Structure 1
Amino acid sequence: MTNNTAVQVPGSRDPAAQSRPPLPMFYQRPSPLDRSRHQTARLRAPSDVDFAALANSLPVMVEEFTLAARDFPILFTDGPVCMAIALLGLRQNQNLFLAERDGKLAWRTECYIPAYVRRYPLVLMETDKPGEFTVCIDEAAEFPEGPAIFESGEMSKAGQEALEFCRAYQNQIVNTQAFGAALQDNGLLDRYNAEIKLESGETFNLTGFLAVNPAKFDALSDEVYLEFRRKGWIGLIHAHIASALNWQRLMALTTLA
């Protein structure tokens, strides 16, 4: 059996959404956070991650590279905006880093949980005014065991911390896009197709992703190398290249799934 898996930026898969900006993955009904409308809303409890079960890839920010590179291959998307992603599974709609524990799906205890998961159900979304964002909550999310966002009509401590996390995450998106653009502008990214064959005979053809070419990185001019070093990007490139070791881990998890 051959499976063709296209690596792409997580977003809405609803064909009806093609005429409007795609919703971020997981978010079905994002609405501006309002203390009256959402007075009983709750945040995600640490154990609530089953909503990520169908995500075979997720964005990772540059601040996460060191931790994410221990567990997942880090790739870059081949599109108008070059974003870094962690590959979580070889099959479509399969996250190999969730496992059943105590009767429910949980993230594997020894593995890093991407900030994209931890941010949910809040998100900063751009308003009609370019460059202006508002905090939204996915009204389709239900986390009865999570901490309350509001208490007695005021933002709770947990709510305040979640909002700060959301704002910090948005800044990380900007930094990560700048990093990806610099890799592209300096010709360091190559397009790759990966064919992976398991002992069972099942074959996976992965397409649509970019990765740093180590030879091109080694040939980087001193001027550009020093600029990358000043920006803290050299370590990120090394982490990305080292993360390729996790392809073997994905293959082993796929065999067990």
Structure 2
Amino acid sequence: MLQLLNNIDHKDLRVVTERGARWGDNVMSAPVIPEEFRKLQAHYPIVFQPDGCGSFQPIVLFGLKQGENLFLTEDGWTADYLPLSMQRMPFSIGIAGDELRMMVDMASPRIGGEADGVAVFMPHGGSTEFVEHANSVLCTLHEGLERMPSFVQALTTHGLLEPFTLEVERPDGSFGKLSGLSMIHEERLAALDAQTVGLLHQADFLYYIYMAIASMSNLSKLIQRHLSQEA
């Protein structure tokens, strides 16, 4: 139930900022934008998922099956960086003409009671630091999503996305399978001519590509976390 955020209808609104399954964090992946790849690559594998419209959306993996988030514990989220698409909850951007509007999902489990969570507005109606930060996150996401098509187009034009299938043998001898995702094709990247590499560099895409490649070292760590929970 999306509503336009305002200090009249939502003057007493509070949002839970803790992390846990009860607040909707039990997801195996989250969409991301290239501008946060550097922070993401220290913790999560960055892969590419078909968006249903003939293109791709970069995502990070938190687990290897639906509903599995291996970064959640009883103490909260264990990684130092939380993807912007997770940080923004329960807010989103609405567009009215040329104007961006901040929306709130009143059905979100993050909507707190009278004494739960962080206040969105101050008693006199002004915005709190919390909602100012949320607005900044939304603006960064919006700008990143606007630039996303040109980045993904460059990857597909040069054949730099390679589908992969991950099979994991569980302790009981059964196998788990993750498919339908793509990663950067390192051999094709290495084979690009100098002019193409230069163009990718000028567009800042080469940097993002290398961050995505570096992030794949986290896949083996994710597998080990998955297996330890399955044992």
The equivalent of 1:99 in structure 2 is 73
Kindly indicate whether residue 119 of structure 2 is the aligned counterpart of residue 123 of structure 1. Answer: no
Return the match for 2:193 from 206, 221, 224: 221
Written as runs of structure 1 = structure 2, the 5 A alignment for 1:30-179 is 30-45=2-17, 47-50=18-21, 51-79=23-51, 80=53, 81-101=55-75, 106-108=76-78, 110-127=79-96, 133-140=100-107, 141-143=110-112, 144-151=115-122, 152-179=124-151
CA gap 1:200/1:132 in 2 versus in 1, 3 angstroms: farther
The answer to whether structure 1 residue 196 and structure 2 residue 168 are counterparts is: yes
The Cα shift of 1:170 comes to 0.9
- 2:128 maps to amino acid: S
Aligned pair count? 221
RMSD across aligned C-alpha pairs, in angstroms? 2.0
Confirm or deny that 1:256 pairs with 2:228. Answer: yes
Query: What code does the residue aligned with 1:137 have?
Result: V
Shift in Å, 1:94: 0.9
Q: SS in structure 2 opposite 1:85?
A: strand
Partner SS for 2:81: coil
Counterpart position of 1:208? 180
Gaps of 5+ in 1: 1-28
**Deviation, structure 1 residue 160:** 2.4
**Residue matched to 1:16:** none
Shift of 1:39: 1.1
CA distance in 1, matches of 2:136, 2:39: 21
Contact conserved, 1:52 with 1:117, CA < 8 A, in 2? Answer: no
Contact 1:84 1:176 in 2 (8 A): no
Q: 1:256 to 1:120 in 2, by over 3 A?
A: same
Q: d(CA) in 2 for partners of 1:124 and 1:92? A: 26
Change over 3 Å in CA distance of 1:181–1:42 after alignment to 2:
farther
TM-score by length of 1: 0.78
Q: Which amino acid aligns with 1:53?
A: D
Gap change, CA 1:44 and 1:233, over 3 Å in 2:
farther
Give deviations 1:30-61, integer Å, cap 9, x for gaps. 2211221111112442x344324321010121
On the 8 A contact 2:4/2:104 being kept in 1, the answer is yes
For 1:133 and 1:225, the matched residues in 2 are separated by: 36
Structure 1 residue 88: Cα displacement:
0.8
Runs of 4+ in 1 over 6 A off after TM superposition: none
CA contact (8 A) 1:57 1:87 kept: yes
Unpaired stretches in structure 2, ≥5 consecutive residues: none
Residue 196 of structure 2: SS of its match in structure 1? helix
Q: Which residue of structure 2 aligns with residue 185 of structure 1?
A: 157
- Which residue number in structure 1 is paired with residue 215 of structure 2? 243
Counterpart CA distance in 2 for 1:224 and 1:208 is 28
